[in-house]
Structure 1
Amino acid sequence: MTNRHDWTVAEIAALHDLPLLELVGRANATHRQHHDPNHVQKASLLSIKTGGCPENCAYCPQSAHHREVDLTRDRLMDPEKVLGMARTARAAGADRFCMGAAWRQVRDGRDFDAVIEMVRGVRDLGMEACVTLGMLKPHQAQRLADAGLTAYNHNLDTSPEFYGKIITTRTYQDRLDTLATVRAYGIELCCGGIIGMGETVRDRASMLQVLAVMDPHPESVPINALVPVAGTPLAGRPVIDPLELVRMVATTRLVMPQATVRLSAGRASLNREAQILCLIAGANSIFYGETLLTTPNAGIGDDAELLAALAAPVRDKEASAA
């Protein structure tokens, strides 16, 4: 499948609802056309400033609005400590280091200067650097670009139609404006969403349509499954069926063939085989580490076993001869 920028919501929903084997088969063929099917990028994600966010995102334990969440608020981390953790991640095989700060928007000053130092340091380690810092202004995007930032993460979360049921402190247009600012300064976009928040299949298709009509498409599209956290408004939501995540990954791959599709939050609830099915369906990146910002992630040992299972089996000569 070639790149298109004229997708309709109905077309994407129809893809999503294909018989599962047909959908995964098409997605895998598209994936193999544009990517090395044996390569899975390992990225590491670190919360560099935790809690106290003024936004009211219904899924997020870092929101200051959700006072029943058991979460310690932490100031921005020291750059040297962050870079030490980046070195550890690199030694564990990660080649992309992502840093998230629970801010509504970037503010000039000492903290932003420290983030610039972190970005430069990560790039000096030979790693890709990605940050998620909330909304930002053109001159701030310019500083990040000058520091060598690879990508800026700013998720849409869900469809324009469902968005108001999840967040009311920031508009959908605010998010789109931030993405446009990032793109204007030559920084790659990392932008995706979350499923399992009560949205419909049409909402999922609508979110993908917003991304798929961008020209160019976002270079990176994280697909997250809701991790219900006690104390948040979505704490009572059931964990989604893993096959819903497979369908979303496959649909994303079909409408944005060249993007890196990141299997993100919610992966800890998937068994090894479900994760492999997501990779077959077109995901080609995982976040490596025990936590994703503040929610549990698959363990490093589990990931080592997953990646070992994907590799060609190593057999001794006697077994091979038999």
Structure 2
Amino acid sequence: MKVSNETRHDWTKEEIEKIYHQPLLDLVYHASKTHREWHNAREVQVCTLLSVKTGGCPEDCSYCGQAARYHTDIKVEALLPTATVLAHAKKAKEAGSSRFCMAAAWREVRNNRDFDRIIEMVKGVNELGLEVCCTLGMLTEEQAIRLQEAGLHAYNHNLDTSEAYYDEIISTRKFDNRINTIQNVRKAGITVCSGGIIGLGETHQDRISMLLTLATMPKHPESVPVNALARVKGTPLENNPKVDIWDMVRMIATARIVMPSSVVRLSAGRIEMTEVEQAWCFMAGANSIFTGERETLLVTPNPGVTEDMQMFENLGLLPMVKQETAQTCTH
């Protein structure tokens, strides 16, 4: 396993294009080799994602069933009680998760009692010995500092797609808003979880451009989720075709090569993948998944813990153990 931090941040679009468009087996071989140089290839980080506040979001993200303006079957739920969230976190740890992520369907964090409750949740999950992650929408630097001081390990804020295609998917915020939140998270000393979604109607060039944005950041995201569109009835993208497995493999492999130190997460879309297809993703460099007792990923179906542990046994994979590392706040 590589222990140095010799990562590149000066990738060009042409270089990433060349990697991305390699013959598939050559690409997977290259990615698998890179993965083994930087990581223990048998270890996969098991993460649990819980929706702590569901639905009613004022944004218009075309893929999201939690947007208030779309007519979906998803019920709006208020922020969960702290005790309920901590009970879920405890179960997640007992089931083998090392990271617990809390998601709230907000456009942005507001300095109110709900945010105070999120702070208490972060403290409580941190005390359980889990890596704590949140995804709460846009965030100021001051809010990020509060989360860091409460013990937040990571903040998820996906780019979703390329800057050029972004306005086709979301009109209620700009691509630069995403970048600003990521920068605020970095300034507060919190690790970054940021990736995107494929299957939104974007081109291969859009996918390459999104990877270029991530791979040329001054510091690569510590976690890079690769999501296949979960088609939710009632959203504008409900009739988009299912993402081809080889497109997922190609994205994961390219992300692994250009961001070798990052954890690449096989995220949304696993429910529609066979075990063999998921195995290809692990071979291409994925080393993290979301699982959970509810068998949902936020509001869409997802494989459950029992099923995932059986897959791990079949493939010879092991849940990654949480690494005890000190964080330094740079503010």
TM-score interval for Structure 1 and Structure 2 normalised by the shorter chain: over 0.9
Pick one of 223, 227, 230 that aligns with 1:224.
227
Equivalence map 1:109-124=2 (5 Å): 109-124=112-127
* Alpha-carbon shift at residue 300 of structure 1 (Å): 2.2
The residue that corresponds to 2:25 in the other structure is 21
In the alignment, what sits opposite 1:282?
A: 285
Q: Secondary structure of 1:194's match? A: strand
2:54 matches 1:61: no
For residue 263 of structure 1, what is the aligned residue in structure 2?
266
Alignment of 1:94-133 (within 5 A): 94-133=97-136
How far the C-alpha of 1:65 sits from its partner, in A, is 1.6
Residue 304 of structure 2 corresponds to residue 306 of structure 1: no
Separation in 2, partners of 1:309, 1:122: 31
Could you tell me which residue of structure 1 aligns to residue 326 of structure 2? none
1:153 maps to what in 2? 156
Which amino acid counterpart does residue 234 of structure 1 have in structure 2? Answer: L
Match of 1:234 in 2: 237
Could you say which structure has the larger radius of gyration?
A: 1
Deviations 1:172-205 (A, max 9, x none): 0011000000000100000000001110111000
Match of 1:188 among 172, 187, 191: 191
1:9 is displaced (CA, Å) by: 1.9
Query: Structure 1 residue 264: deviation in Å?
Result: 0.2
In structure 2, distance between residues paired with 1:198 and 1:226 = 10
Post-superposition CA distance 1:228-286 (Å, at most 9, x none) = 11000000001111111011000000010000000000011110011011011000001
2:7 to 3, 10, 15: 3
- Verify the 8 A CA contact 1:179 1:189 in the aligned structure 2: yes
Match of 2:140 in 1: 137
Quick one: distance in 2 between partners of 1:122 and 1:38?
Answer: 27
Q: Which residue of 1 aligns with 2:211?
A: 208
Q: SS of the counterpart of 2:43?
A: coil
Checking the alignment, whether the CA contact within 8 Å between 1:9 and 1:202 is kept in structure 2 is: no
What is the one-letter code of the residue matched to 2:58? P
Amino acid of the residue matched to residue 135 of structure 1? M
Secondary structure of 2:177's partner? helix
**Gaps in structure 2 of 5+ consecutive residues:** 318-331
Counterpart among 249, 268, 273 of residue 246 in structure 1 = 249
Asked whether 1:293 is paired with 2:298, we answer yes
State the secondary structure of the residue aligned to 1:40: strand
The equivalent of 2:323 in structure 1 is: none
**Deviations for 1:140-182, whole angstroms, at most 9, x for unmatched residues?**
1110010010000000000001101000000000110000000
**Structure 2 partner of 1:45:** 49
In 1, Cα distance between equivalents of 2:20 and 2:202: 14
Question: Offset at 1:301?
Answer: 2.4
* Contact 1:155-1:190 within 8 A present in 2 as well: yes
RMSD: 1.0
For residues 16 and 199 of structure 2, the distance between their equivalents in structure 1, rounded to whole angstroms, comes to 18
Unaligned runs of 5+ in 1: 313-322
Give the Cα–Cα distance (whole angstroms) in 2 for the partners of residues 25 and 239 of structure 1. 25
What SS is found at the alignment partner of 2:132? strand
After TM superposition, the score normalised by the length of structure 2 is 0.92
Worse-superposed segment, 2-11 or 39-48? 2-11
- Separation of aligned partners in 2, 1:198 and 1:176: 22
Which one-letter code corresponds to 1:19 in the other structure? P
Contact 1:150 1:187 in 2 (8 A): yes
Counterpart CA distance in 2 for 1:81 and 1:264 is 24
How many pairs align? 311
Q: Deviations over 1:1-34 (max 9, x none)?
A: 9511111222212211110110000000100000
